Amino acid sequence: MNQSEVGETKSHGESKFVRMTNRCGLMTQKNLPVPLKSISVEVQVKGHVATVTSTLQYVNEEERPLEALFVFPLPADAAVCHFSAKIGEHEIVAELKEKQTARDQYDDAVSSGQQAFLLEESEESSDVFKLSVGCLSPGQNAAISITYITELSVQADHALRFCLPAVLNPRYTPAGSAAGIVSEISSVCDSVPYTLTLSVHVSSPKPISKLESNCTLDPLVFLDSHHTHATVNLSSGHKFDKDVELFVYYENTHQPTAIVEAGVTAAQPGSLMSDPVVMISLYPEFPEEVMSSLATQGEFVFVIDRSGSMDCVMHHGEGAQMRIESAKETLLLLLKSLPMGCYFNIYGFGSRYESFFPQSVVYNQDTMDQALKRVSEMRADMGGTEILQPLKHIYSQPCYPEHPRQLFVFTDGEVGNTKEVLDLVRRHVHSHRCFSFGIGEGASSALITGLAREGCGHAQFITGTDRMQPKAMQSLRFALQPVVNKISVQWKVPDGITVDTLSPPINVIFQGQRSLVYAQIKGQSSESSEGSVMIQYNLKDQPVTNQLHFCLKPAEDTGLMIHRLAARSLIGRLEQEERAGGAEVESVRSRMVKLSVEAGVNSVHTAFIAINKHNRETVKGPLIQRRIPTRESFQACFYAPDVTASGMSMCAPSFHDLSRASNEARYLSLSPAVYSYSYKARSAAVDFVNSQETEDKYRKACKRMADSASPQWAAPEPQKDSFLQLVSLQKASGCWEMNSALAQVFGKTEDELTNQKPAQVDGSVWATLLALIWLYGYKMEHQVEWQFVAMKAASWIRSQNVGGLSQCVCDGNVLLGCQVTQETLGI
């Protein structure tokens, strides 16, 4: 079987690998020109919503007509609402139709010599789309525009995050999963051969404080004296090697708001598009006395991706850490931050999974030490990314009374069966909360945000030079908040008006976190034009009510963005009903298609189709099919200069090109002299593997190659961080012991610490006090990472009932060269 043919094997316990033609290593770019030349993006940010228009410039530089395929990422749950193509002077606006109908029309048009364009959503993951550009004549240009609307997520510092995905990771497809668009993801070995330009316009009723990005931006330009309108551009030279993230800061951004949008007069009466729609942004605020006493109970289950791709770097900059190493450091902080007496367990998963303990155990010094030893031994050596089975095992375990289950999932998100995973989480939503972390560029937003949404938790993305640890600790603070239950949303409107809530029920509320609610407003009234929405819930068994009054008169110039987001939200609910099965599946699917077409937004059962009827040329011979590279996190695999052991010219295959048997032969039979070794080689290749026997063979082969490789391929030894050294020395109870390792963190000797110890305190109290002073004195910029470590330490010191602490603090400040007060330490 060669690499241009379909490679597929099935056997018990094996994964199914599906052909991806024209991948990196199958043909060089010299004999496979790429027709996509540039992408320009315009972003209009209005409050909490962004409207994004991407224009893709194509040109056929070959001597024959071709069909180009481009598989690319969009934000999860984006409402794609416009698709058009301009060829010469002709612009064709696409229609949204039932998917199979659209596919048939596309095939018929291309086969008859007409130019056609098809845009469809992946059936496996809502953040992956495929664009088919059919029958481009030699030398012809085409400009394709795609417009979508997306909600901006709220960060812990109240920034609104917009992400333009530029990196699309390979998606590992486990055994028994259907292969579709996700399996056609294309890759490139170095930089993509097209450019990106990006311009952003921000407008808001509230003043704009600042705008930040993980990429280099031109200076922000304010368009008015009130700073409510501003523009900014992405600086030239962006390499497309990472997602583009923008963080918008408004003044008082966390205040509740309501936007009412008028319907379309030409729409069918009674339909969603004909009536006004309201979007409510709610920010419940908990009483201070509740937030000052976080929970001390719970079952904390940490699920760590140990697939081969976790052996990639966090980012492409200097000093980047390996993903698995960052995860290990994060686990250290989490384990040290847990409250005494809770329960915990740690799972690692890849093609298989394992847990540290048969079931969750009580958190104490002994179990924490056992877990930390296992964490230090963790490697990215477990094959592909199959998260479904470990989740099933976790959910099969009985919960502990009075200890609510909190699930923390860390993954680079390269999963092919996303919807199946989310359905499983949704079925168990009443037994746990799920906090998810997308690691590195290109993590699936559909998976990461979906896990948090369906598991009533919170999602975090760690990209660029972000550190994983502070984001994990922010989520731990959410997990330790009291559980909010009995949540209800009630509307109060004048007589003659009714409100139908379109969004899924609110199942989770966190302090300061936004909840979005979409609703359809029906009827008319001659009375007051004001309505209100009231959210009620129980917090620590006490009823709480938050109310927002709003004007029923529609806002001006919203461009139907609220209607389309509401429609996309409702379509998402219908998808859940469809996957749940039952006698009404066909009816639900029909409703989904009808709503999608009426609202003009994408769904899994519809596709955009555009046909250029001005062009009808006879096609001579079959179309040349070209797949357009997407920037991936796996760029360089093994490299063969000229020949392999069999004498065939090749570069290494990537993710899904070959069956496991074929990969095993290609990777394991080659002598070390044929290939150079890099750590990325293992990360890209090991995800093919899904049997323990093959994994063992593969690791031995990698070791042979590593041993024979030149020194420049060896990963540098990470430097020991003094902060992490200090945290690693803390006991489960919260105290530190006096020893030389602690003294080394302070840059002292053990004798220096002992000689300065006040007489009224013992060694552990003195050591713990010094650790607290050092954290507040030298590591305040990382306080979010050690806040729970410090809380445990302060609580332990208070429990010792030591006299003369004020003098001890003074002595500690002198010894360490700090000026920290006793009040600051919380003792």
* Separation in Å, CA 810 to CA 29, 734, 770, 772, 818: 68, 21, 11, 13, 9
Query: What is the spatial distance between Cα 361 and Cα 733, in angstroms, rounded to a whole number?
Result: 16
**pLDDT confidence of 87, banded at 50, 70, 90?**
confident
- Percentages helix, strand, coil for the chain, rounded to the nearest 5? 30, 25, 45
What is the H or E stretch that residue 490 is in? strand 484-492
pLDDT given at position 620: 43
Distance CA 62, CA 781 (A): 56
Angle at 574 between CA 568 and CA 575, to 5 degrees: 90
Interval 234-286: pLDDT, tens: 988 776 667 788 999 998 777 788 899 999 988 999 899 999 999 998 887 77
- Domain coordinates of the chain in residue numbers? 1-17+637-719, 36-172+181-250+602-627, 257-290+484-599, 295-480, 722-825
> Is 97 a residue whose pLDDT tops 90?
yes
Q: Mean pLDDT across the stretch 764-776?
A: 96
CATH topology of domain 257-290+484-599: Immunoglobulin-like (2.60.40)
pLDDT > 90? residue 321? no
For residue 50, the SS3 value is strand
Rounded to whole angstroms, the Cα distance separating 235 from 220 reads 11
pLDDT, residue 328, reads 93
822 burial level (CB within 10 Å; 0-12, 13-18, 19+): middle
Return the HEC string of 239-274: CCCCCEEEEEEECCCCCCEEEEECCCCCCCCCCCCC
CA distance 571 to 605: 10
The most confident of 172-186, 437-451, 633-647, 777-791, by mean pLDDT: 777-791
Residue 44 has pLDDT above 80, yes or no: yes
Architecture of the domain spanning 295-480: 3-Layer(aba) Sandwich (3.40)
Q: What pLDDT is recorded for position 185?
A: 44
Per-residue pLDDT at 657: 29
CB 634 within 8 A of CB 654: yes
Mean pLDDT of 642-662: 28
The tokens of 93 are what?
């606006």
- Residue 717 corresponds to which amino acid? E
Q: Distance between CA atoms of 154 and 1, rounded to whole angstroms?
A: 49
Residue 777 vs residues 774, 780, 814: alpha-carbon distances, Å:
5, 7, 12
Contacts 24+ apart (CB under 8 A), 772-775: 772/797, 772/820, 772/825, 772/827, 773/809, 773/812, 773/813, 773/816, 773/818, 773/820, 773/825, 774/726, 774/745, 774/746, 774/816, 774/818, 775/723, 775/726
pLDDT in tens, 537-564: 888 778 888 889 999 988 776 789 999 9
Kindly indicate the confidence band of residue 482, based on its pLDDT and cuts at 50, 70 and 90: confident
Q: Distance between CA atoms of 21 and 23, rounded to whole angstroms?
A: 5
- How far, in Å, are 269, 408, 512 from residue 346 at the CA level? 54, 9, 29
Confidence of residue 32 (pLDDT cuts 50, 70, 90): low
pLDDT at 708: 42
Q: Given pLDDT bands bounded at 50, 70 and 90, which one contains residue 401?
A: confident
Segment 590-596 mean pLDDT: 95
How far apart CA 428 and CA 421 sit, in angstroms, is 11
Residues 6 or more apart in contact with residue 71 via CB below 8 angstroms: 128, 129, 130, 131, 168, 181, 184, 185, 186, 627, 630
Q: pLDDT per residue over 205-243, tens digit each? A: 889 999 998 888 899 999 999 999 999 999 887 766 677
Token digits of residue 289: 């006395």
| pLDDT of amino acid 682 | 32
Residue 617 has pLDDT above 60, yes or no: no
Q: Residues for the chain: how many in total? A: 827
Check whether 702 has a pLDDT greater than 80. no
CA distance 43 to 150: 11
The encoded tokens of residue 241 equal 């090697």
Is the model's pLDDT at 94 over the cut of 60?
A: yes
Judge whether 661 and 323 are in contact, CB under 8 Å: no
Domain 36-172+181-250+602-627 architecture? Sandwich (2.60)
Q: What is the CA radius of gyration of the chain?
A: 28
For tokens 């079925």, name the residue. Answer: 427
Task: Examine the pLDDT at 392 and tell me if it is beyond 80.
Answer: yes
Beta bridge partners of 54: 41, 146
| Residue 333, pLDDT score | 94
Closest CA to 39 of 66, 62, 52, 58: 58
Percentage of the chain exceeding pLDDT 90: 44
Task: Give the integer Cα–Cα distance in Å for 688 and 307.
Answer: 10
- 414 pLDDT higher than 70: no
How far lies 340's CA from each of 114, 357, 407, 496, in Å? 69, 18, 18, 56
Mutual angle of helices 585-599 and 561-580, in 10-degree steps: 170
CB within 8 Å of 728: residues ≥ 6 apart: 332, 336, 372
* DSSP-derived 3-state class of residue 662: helix
User: What is the number of alpha carbons within 13 Å of residue 676 lying toward its C-beta?
Assistant: 14
pLDDT of residue 627: 52
Asked if 155 and 461 touch (Cβ cutoff 8 Å), the reply is no
Give the mean pLDDT of the chain: 78
Q: Is 217 helix (H, G, I), strand (E, B) or coil?
A: strand
Alpha-carbon distance of 281 to 274, in angstroms, equals 22
Give the C-alpha separation, 458 to 508, whole Å: 9
pLDDT at 393: 96
> Can you give the pTM of this predicted structure?
0.73
Cα separation, 22 vs 82, whole angstroms: 29
Q: What b-and-e string marks burial along 226-247, b requiring 16 or more CB atoms within 10 Å of the CB? A: ebbebebebeeebebbbbbbbb
Tell whether the model's pLDDT for residue 382 goes beyond 70: yes
630-649 per-position pLDDT tens digit? 544 333 322 222 222 222 22
**Residue found under tokens 């991706």:** 305
pLDDT value of residue 170: 47
- Do 36-172+181-250+602-627 and 295-480 fold alike per CATH? no
> Which of residues 19 and 43 earns the better pLDDT score?
43
Check whether 706 has a pLDDT greater than 60.
no
User: Chain centroid to CA 6: how far?
Assistant: 31
Tell me the mean pLDDT in the region 360-370: 97
Asked whether the predicted pLDDT for residue 204 surpasses 60, the reply is yes
Q: What is the pLDDT of residue 125?
A: 81
If pLDDT is split at 50, 70 and 90, which confidence band does 694 have? Answer: very low
